[in-house]
């Protein structure tokens, strides 16, 4: 075998090894593995159904005024539907977005996002924890990864637009949900237990 043939053979073997390595890396780390719900699906949860879930189930009437309290729970499927509904009723570009799924695991909210990058199907995972603070719900952002690659938080926060209900605190990695200004409702507690998002609300009217 001539030197040229040997060099070509070596180059060919290197190329095959590189292609196989890339393919294996994609299959192991980047190929979507968690089943998600299509972004074009009809959702079962909408704002009207949410309001029904938040109807006060405890009313306290006294000399100073009236106090309403409610407690509700949302499953991962309901959170998924709410996110899809919100995206489809916003200006977010969903051209490359295929599907989403929210999963509650212990005290963490995991958001799986399927999307295409240059025609290649990929899956990102965002990790959040929750708490209540100053009558608001705090969604604390931990990370977003595609495979073993960590996505800069600025990329995620750039998609969040501040309004009377939703605001972002990028310095502290927090997304803040407030119902006080528009609805006069205080969020007293938020937790992730039994694979559900649990919320306790309170509203007071003084005489």
Q: Which one has a higher pLDDT value, 63 or 14? A: 14
Taking residues 131-159, report their average pLDDT.
93
pLDDT, residue 46, reads 65
pLDDT band at 41 (very low <50, low <70, confident <90, very high): confident
pLDDT, residue 45, reads 67
pLDDT, residue 150, reads 95
Checking if the pLDDT of 90 tops 90, the result is: no
| Phi/psi of residue 89, nearest 5 degrees | -110, 25
pLDDT, residue 47, reads 66
pLDDT band at 1 (very low <50, low <70, confident <90, very high): low
Token couple for 147: 């495979």
DSSP 43: P
CA distance 58 to 128: 30
User: 3-state SS of the chain: helix, strand, coil percent to 5?
Assistant: 30, 45, 30
CA distance 58 to 201: 10
DSSP 147: T
What DSSP element (H or E) covers 85?
Answer: helix 76-88
pLDDT, residue 52, reads 75
CB 143 within 8 A of CB 128: no
Checking if the pLDDT of 89 tops 90, the result is: no
Taking residues 98-104, report their average pLDDT.
95
Collect all residues with Cβ–Cβ distance below 8 Å to 50 and sequence separation of at least 6.
82
| Phi/psi of residue 120, nearest 5 degrees | -100, 125
Average pLDDT score over the chain: 88
Q: Among 32-46, 51-65, 127-141, whose mean pLDDT is lowest?
A: 51-65
Token couple for 136: 């608001």
Taking residues 144-171, report their average pLDDT.
89
Checking if the pLDDT of 4 tops 90, the result is: no
pLDDT, residue 80, reads 93
CB 52 within 8 A of CB 194: no
């Amino acid at each position: 075998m001539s030197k040229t043939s040997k060099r070509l053979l070596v180059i060919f073997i290197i190329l095959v090894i590189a292609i196989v390595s890339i393919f294996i890396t994609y299959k192991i780390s980047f190929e979507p593995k968690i089943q998600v719900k299509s972004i074009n699906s009809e959702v079962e949860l909408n704002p009207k159904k949410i309001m029904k879930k938040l109807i006060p189930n405890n009313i306290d009437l006294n000399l100073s005024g009236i106090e309403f309290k409610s407690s509700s729970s949302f499953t991962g499927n309901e959170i998924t539907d709410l996110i899809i509904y919100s995206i489809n009723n916003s200006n977010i570009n969903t051209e490359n977005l295929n599907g989403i799924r929210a999963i509650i695991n212990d005290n963490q909210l995991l958001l799986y996002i399927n999307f295409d990058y240059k025609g290649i199907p990929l899956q990102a995972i965002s990790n959040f924890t929750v708490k209540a603070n100053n009558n608001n719900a705090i969604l604390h952002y931990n990370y977003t990864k595609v495979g073993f690659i960590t996505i800069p938080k600025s990329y995620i926060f750039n998609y969040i637009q501040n309004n009377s209900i939703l605001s972002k605190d990028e310095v502290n990695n927090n997304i803040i949900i407030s119902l006080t200004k528009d609805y006069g409702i205080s969020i007293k507690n938020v937790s992730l237990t039994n694979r559900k998002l649990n919320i306790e609300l309170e509203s007071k009217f003084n005489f």
